[in-house]
Amino acid sequence: MTYSIIARCPHTGRFGVGSTTFSIACGRRNESVRAGVGISKSQAFYLRYVDPLALNMLAQGYTPQHIVRTLEADDPDFDYRQFGIIDRENNVVAHTGPGCGKWAGHTVGPYYAAYGNGLAGPQTVAGIISGFLKQPDAPLEDRLLMALEGGRDAGGQMSKGIPRPERSAWIRVVPSSLRTTSSRETGFGPRGQRTREMTSGTTPRSR
């Protein structure tokens, strides 16, 4: 049970990911986005090597569509995977395999993709997009947070008819080129309240 949004800011070119789930401490592994390269965010029955591999292929100039074909050809359990990829040219793809359970799905926009599994229904993905598009001139970090809140308010996660809370979440935004990155760990408090913590660091120059 997870839902996410990946996006590239149309104004600044920055890349960002927002994700929330029923599991604890989902932000402990946020290797899904790389400055100056793009985004690959996997979930459901995911393989941890996939996102670094996809980012390496993006850095080498392969398109997201080619990467999807490569992953499918090398994975006999591809039907159980869910992921989204964005490159530096704003090419976006998403995949939701039929084995990801009910309800699972995705929507791809011109510079973003929203997707999830173990959801209340397609209204959760619609809520993610609605929240993301609510303030198109806001900083990307804020838009990602509004997207996650939109998904939560539209129904969020559900298992066997029982609503499941979002127990952890993370947001990370990196620049379109290289130097400074920022990460925002985001908590969901009582409805209408948010908790945030901002940290910053440096990324190595890409090769």
pLDDT digits 0-9 by tens, 110-152: 999 999 999 999 999 999 999 999 999 999 999 999 999 999 9
Name the one residue in this structure whose structure tokens are 């993709």.
113
In a domain, 157, yes or no: yes
Q: How far is CA 143 from CA 56, 139, 157, in A?
A: 27, 6, 20
Residues comprising the chain, all counted: 207
pLDDT for the residue numbered 42: 95
pLDDT for the residue numbered 207: 31
Count of domains observed in the chain: 1
pLDDT for the residue numbered 43: 94
- With residues binned 3-state (H G I as helix, E B as strand, rest as coil), the percentages for the chain, rounded to 5, are 25, 35, 35
Q: Range of 175's domain?
A: 2-202
- CATH code, domain with 63: 3.60.20.10
Q: Which residues pair with 187 in a beta bridge?
A: 195
In a domain, 207, yes or no: no
Mark the ranges of the chain whose per-residue pLDDT is less than 50: 181-207
Find out whether 115 and 82 touch, Cβ atoms under 8 Å.
yes
In a domain, 45, yes or no: yes
In a domain, 9, yes or no: yes
* CA 116/CA 104 separation, integer angstroms: 6
Q: Which two tokens mark 137?
A: 């001139």
